[in-house]
Chains A and B, each alone.
Chain A
């Protein structure tokens, strides 16, 4: 999961994503950021919100980048879950733009809400209208929010906003707040069609 470090994601989306997440974090909280990349978000939360923050990153270069920025980094593989962390150890567990790179989606979502009182999850929306157009034309979508070719994508799960909300309902996960974005700008209507990125604040069942 190299997530935010190496991807060619649109910067406007990335900034908007991080802005939205930062807005949900209260000063002094304990925060765990899964797939933290180079620690950009945590560094910001440490500086702006004085959080006690930890990032999980398995990529060796990401680990070094975090250490260089003075961000606490923990090098473990998320596919193994968050074993060892006690229930409710964090106020917020964040997973920014990397849920689609994890095989064990349901298991990890449960882990997020076990170790965190709340979770913040963002992901690229495969239901975005340009993605649908690409499929109609017979090609897999490639866009600013899905910058990869089908043969080199780190993404292993392909889902839309509607898919995600349906899974939350099925698993009894409470959707506390939603922010939908199109090229970094807020979208409020027909978000499964018009938003390229969605950010959720999730609560325990």
Chain B
């Protein structure tokens, strides 16, 4: 197998889990049945003690590691391939790693772009609003299906970190470790505000059709593009943007028009364009709502210490110095609440220039922290 990239889990194929048991949702709605698409890497050991769940963020999916096309390995790598694989920090020689596309996603799991069995038509806007808690409940069904009574670890960055945290509250006995990266106990008002602008861009796109655009044979690409452009700005740091683009011009001279003058404009347009070509607008709306709604302390009057009192897992919390969308202060809130509860927790604050996107990068100290932590996980 000399065509396998070094450290890669190799060619992977998505699998499907269909659950016919109705899933009650936090909103009060019930999903009568659902499907989750997932991938696995490594081998589940005899006592099923080495399973690790990787939760994805806003635009992620089940394809965490390896490639899906042997002829285009680099082009089809999973979104966290630098972390997961044989000999990598989350070592698939030790762990059985599971990636799953969440409910409401647009990569094959039940969501707006899948068929509503009741009507025989695509759900579109009729797919119920799902929350982080609902995602975790669905993931727990998948764990049952895989024979995993307790995860060795649940890992996630950003919105994925919220899922890891929620696991420790919804199913405290069903995980040993929670690794919460570049995340927060809630979104700030500023963060919700960014999400709302992104949603308005989609909702006011004339081709949105109230979320039933599939039937019209169109997609609200302009809205989705704008949403992504805005999001992208918030994932990078000011310094990094200055360094990467500065005021450099796309075509060497100012045009005195509304064409793209600056490189940063061109870059954002390209990123937005690309994203709107593969991502689903309804999924984007729904996922930003799940982010906005997440607030484990809402039932304890805003007291995060009390909210996390039921957690039993050991924690690793990681934040990045230049991440202003999910700032280190927010991760420290999680850390101090866990300390106040006497939980085992370590907190690493990584010096990185890449802003919120840092959690996807292979920064040496960041990966050394994760590698060391996972090495110490006793199965």
B224 CB → nearest A CB, Å: 37
Chain A min CB distance to B301 (Å): 16
**Which 4 A-B pairs rank lowest in CB-CB distance, beginning with the nearest?**
A84-B336, A67-B372, A74-B347, A75-B349
Q: Do residues B335 and A74 form an inter-chain contact, with CB atoms below 8 A?
A: yes
The answer to whether residues A85 and B348 also contact, given A60-B365, A67-B369 and a CB cut-off of 8 A, is: no
CA distance A84 to B342 in the complex (A): 15
Tell me the nearest residue of chain A to B339, going by C-beta.
A54
Q: Which of A30, A64, A68, A73 contacts B347 (CB 8 A)?
A: A73
Residue of A nearest to B342 (CB): A52
1/0 contact trace for B360-379 toward A, CB 8 Å? 00000100110011011000
Q: B336 touching A85 by the CB < 8 A rule?
A: yes
A126 to chain B, nearest CB (A): 32
Which residues of A have CB within 8 Å of B339? 54, 74, 85, 89
Cβ–Cβ contact A68 & B332, under 8 A: no
Count how many chain B residues have C-beta atoms less than 8 Å from C-beta atoms of the other chain.
22
Report which of B335, B344, B369, B375 forms a contact with A63, defined as CB distance below 8 A: B369
Inter-subunit contact A63/B340 (CB<8 Å): no
A107 adjacent to chain B (CB < 8 Å): no
Closest CB in chain B relative to A54 CB, distance in Å: 6
Q: In whole angstroms, what is the CA distance A178 to B340 when docked? A: 29
Q: Which residue of B lies closest to A90 (CB)?
A: B339
Q: Is B266 in the interface zone, CB < 8 Å from A? A: no
Interface check A70, CB cutoff 8 A: yes
Q: Which of B's residues lie within 8 Å of A, judged by CB? A: 305, 332-333, 335-336, 339-340, 342, 344-349, 351, 365, 368-369, 372-373, 375-376
A143 to chain B, nearest CB (A): 34
Residues of B within 8 A of A60 (CB): 351, 365, 368
Residue of B nearest to A32 (CB): B339
Is B345 in contact with A72, judged by CB distance below 8 angstroms?
A: yes
A67 and B340 in contact, given A72-B345, A75-B347, A76-B347 (Cβ under 8 angstroms): no
CB proximity of B280 to chain A, nearest CB, Å: 38
State which of B342, B368, B376 has its C-beta within 8 Å of the C-beta of A30: B342
A66 touches B346 (CB 8 A): yes
> Which residues from chain A contact B340 at a C-beta distance below 8 Å?
85-86, 89
Q: Is the CB of A76 within 8 A of B349?
A: yes
Is the Cβ of A72 less than 8 Å from the Cβ of B376? no
Is the pair A63, B336 in contact by a Cβ cutoff of 8 Å?
A: no
Query: Which has the most chain A C-beta neighbours within 10 Å: B332, B333, B346, B368?
Result: B346
Q: Which residues of A contact B372 (CB under 8 A)?
A: 64, 67-68
* CB pair A70 B342 closer than 8 Å: no
Q: Are B333 and A64 in contact (CB under 8 A)?
A: no
Contacts of A66 in B (CB 8 A): 346
Nearest Cβ in chain A — how far from B176, in angstroms?
Answer: 13
In the bound complex, residues from chain A placing their C-beta under 8 Å from that of B346 are: 63, 66-67, 72-74
Residue of B nearest to A89 (CB): B340
Whole-angstrom distance between the alpha carbons of A99 and B340 in the complex?
Answer: 24
| A76 cross-chain contacts in B, Cβ below 8 A | 332, 347, 349
Flag if B333 contacts A84 (CB, 8 Å).
Answer: yes
